[in-house]
Amino acid sequence: MDHLILARSLFGTTMGFHIIFATLGVGLPLMILCAELLFQKTKDRDYAIMAKRWTKGQAVLLGVAIPTGTIAGVQLALLWPGFMEVIGKVMALPFQIEIYAFFIEALFMSIYVYAYDRLTPRMRIFSVTLVMLGAAASAILITNVHAFEGTPAGFRILNGEITDVDPWAAFFNPSFFVTAAHVAVSAFMTGAFIIASIAAYKMLRNKNNERLYQFHRKALMMGLVIGGIFSLLTAFNGHESAQMLHEYQPEKLAAAEGLFETQSHAPFTLGGFTDRETQTVKGGIEIPWLLSFLSGDSFDTVVIGLNDFPEEYWPPLFVHTLFNVMIIIGTFLIMLSVAGFVWRKFLKKDRFPKVFMWAFVLSGPLSLIAVEFGWIFACTGRQPWVIYRIQKTADVVTSSEQIGVLFILFSLVYAILGIAVVLVLLYYFKKNPVEKDIAKAANKDINV
C-alpha cells in the first residue's frame, strides 16, 4: 500500500476507535445526570443505583477514551504536520479552549467518582452537570476543527504564506453550528440507546424476576424517551447538515446521493451502489424530487451533479452507502422509540412483544454504527482535500516512513484495549449484579 493510504488508514483507525468511547463519554453523563435528577425528584432508589452503575461503566470507558484521544491529538501533528501548521496559525482556538473543557470534565469526574459519598446531593448534581458540559464542549470544539476543514474561513494563502488571519472568523466558520450540533445531539442519542439496549437485554434475561424486570424497564423507558427526543433532533439537524453541504461542498452531497447530472427536481436514491461507468446507482430505490426538496426546501432547487466537477475532485463513491445507512438508522430509531413509548405509556402494556425487545437490544449498536458511518462519510467524503479547496491531503502527509509498522502496532493495541475493556466491564457487572445494589440500598433504608 502506498504511504498516503497507510497514513490515512492509521489515522482513520485511531479516530474510528476513539469515537466509540468519546461518543459514550458525551452521551452517558447526560443519562447519569437524568438519573440523579429523577432520583432527587421521585426518591426512588432505583435511579440512584442506575446513576452509580452507569458512572462505574463510564469510569472504565474513560480509561480508553482518554488515551485514545491523546493519541488522536498527537497523531494529528505526527501524521499531518503540514496540516497542523495551518491549524496552529489559524484554528488554534478550539484546541486551546478544549483543554479547559477537558480539565473541567477530568476534575469533576474524579470528584464525582471518588468523593461521591462526601458530596451533598446538590453538589453531586452540580458535578455531573459539569462532567456532561465538559464532555459535550470537548466534542463540540474538536468537531469545530473538522467543520473548519470543510468550510475554511478566516485566512488567505498568498504565495504560500498565510495572511489576513482572523482566528474568530475561523472559529465561527460557516458550518460550525450545524456540524457541532449534529455531533452533540447524535452523541446524546447514542448514549441513551446504549442504555436502552442493555436494559432490554436484561429484561429478556429476567422475565420471571419481577423486581429486576421493573428496574430495567425504568432504565429502558429513560433510554427510549431521551433517545427518542435526541434522534428527532438529530434528524432535523441532519437535514440542515445536508443543506449545508448543498451550499458549501456540493460534490460531497452529489457523491452521497450518487447524482451525476446537475438538475432541478432531483431524485433521492435510497440504497444501491454507485457505478462510475454507467453513472447510475444500481439497485437503489428512487424517490422523485425529494433530493431537491431536502437541499433547498423546494422541488425546483437545482442540485449540482458530479459531472460538473473534474473527476480528480470526486470523493470516493462508496460514501453513498455510508450516508444511506446513517439516515436509515436515524429514521428507524425515531420510529422505534415512538412506538415503544406509545406501547408502554398510552396502551399501558406491561410487557413488550419479543420483536420489539430485540429491536431495542439492537438500538445502541445501531446508533454507534450510524456514528461511525457518519464520520467516515464526513472525513472520506472530503477527499482529496484535508482543507477544502485549499490544502490536499497528499501534500500534508508526513515524510517519515515506516507507517505500515505503526499501523500494525496501533491496531494491535486498540484490539487489546477493546477486548480488555469489554472483559473488564463484563467482569465487574457480573461480580456486582443489580440484586446486590438493590439489597444494599434496602439495608440503608433500614439503617436510616
Partner 1 sequence: MEMTTDALIAITVLWGFVFIYAVMATMDFGAGFWSMFYINKEKTNATNIANRYLSPTWEVTNVFIVAIVVALVSFFPGATFILGTVLLIPGSLILLLLAIRSGFLVFSHIAKSYEKALTYVSGITGFLIPGLLILVLPLTHGGYITVEDGLHRLQLLSLLTSPNALSFVAFAISSTLFLSSLLLADYSNVSDEPEAYYIYRRDALIMGPISLLMAFCIMLTMRTEAAWLYTRMMDYLPWLIGSVATFLVAGIAMYLPSRKSGRTGRPRIAVIAIVVQYLLASYAYGRAHLPYMIYPDVTIQSGFTHPNTFRALFITYIIGFAILFPGFIFFWKMFMGDKEYLRQKNS
User: Which 339-398 residues touch ligand HDD, going by CB under 6 A?
Assistant: 367, 370-371, 374-375, 378, 381
Helix ranges restricted to H, 262-353: 290-296, 319-341
Nearest Cα to 215, choosing from 49, 364, 52?
A: 49
Tell me which of 70, 96, 214, 331 binds ligand HDD, using CB under 6 A. Answer: 331
- What are the backbone angles phi and psi of residue 29, rounded to the nearest 5°? -55, -35
Using DSSP, state whether 287 is helix, strand or coil.
Answer: strand
User: Nine-digit cell at 304?
Assistant: 449540482
CA angle, 205 as apex, 201 and 207 as ends, to 5°?
115
Which residue, 127 or 234, has its beta carbon nearer to ligand HDD? 234
Please spell the DSSP secondary structure of 225-267, one letter per residue: HHHHHHHHHHHHHHHHHHHHHHHH-HHHHHHHHT--S-BSS--
Cβ atoms within 10 Å, residue 276: 11
137 in contact with partner 1 (CB under 8 A): no
In the region spanning residues 147 to 166, those forming contacts with partner 1, defined by CB under 8 A, are: 162, 165-166
In terms of CB distance, is 57 or 374 closer to ligand HDD?
Answer: 374
x/- binding map, residues 81-110, to partner 1, per CB under 8 A? xx-xxxxxxx-xx-xxxxxx-xxx-xxxxx
For 250, the enclosing helix (H) or strand (E) is helix 250-257
| Of the candidate residues 90, 383, 407, 434, the single one contacting ligand HEM (CB under 6 A) | 383
Are 27 and 190 contacting, i.e. CB atoms less than 8 angstroms apart? yes
- Which one of 84, 259, 266, 326 is in contact with ligand HDD (CB under 6 A)? 326
Q: Is residue 145 at the binding interface for ligand HEM, with CB under 6 A as the rule?
A: yes
Q: Which of residues 220 and 403 has its CB atom nearest to ligand HEM in the complex?
A: 403
Q: Give the nearest distance from C-beta 129 to ligand HEM in angstroms.
A: 15
Closest CA to 284 of 251, 323, 311: 323
Name every residue whose Cβ is closer than 8 Å to that of residue 288 and which is 6 or more positions away in sequence: 265, 267
- Residue 268's H or E segment, with its range, is strand 268-270
User: What does 26 interact with, of partner 1, ligand HEM, ligand HDD, none (CB < 5 to 8 A by kind)?
Assistant: ligand HEM
Q: Does 442 help bind partner 1 (rule: CB under 8 A)?
A: no
Residues 220-259 that bind ligand HDD (CB under 6 A): 234-235, 238-239, 241-242, 245, 252
Q: CA-to-CA distance for 39 and 47, rounded, in angstroms?
A: 5
Q: Which is nearer to partner 1, 111 or 244 (CB)?
A: 111
**Cβ nearer to ligand HDD, comparing 102 with 230:** 230
Q: Minimum Å distance from CB 149 to ligand HDD?
A: 9
* Assigned C-alpha cell, 407: 499501523
* Cα 87 to Cα 93: distance, rounded to the nearest angstrom: 9
How many degrees, rounded to 5, is the angle at CA 356 between CA 231 and CA 210? 110
Q: Smaller CB distance to partner 1: residue 94 or 381? A: 94
Which 181-210 residues touch ligand HEM, going by CB under 6 A?
183, 187
Q: Which is nearer to partner 1, 405 or 442 (CB)?
A: 405
Binding residues vs ligand HDD (CB under 6 A): 143, 150, 179, 182-183, 186, 189-190, 234-235, 238-239, 241-242, 245, 252, 326-327, 329-331, 367, 370-371, 374-375, 378, 381
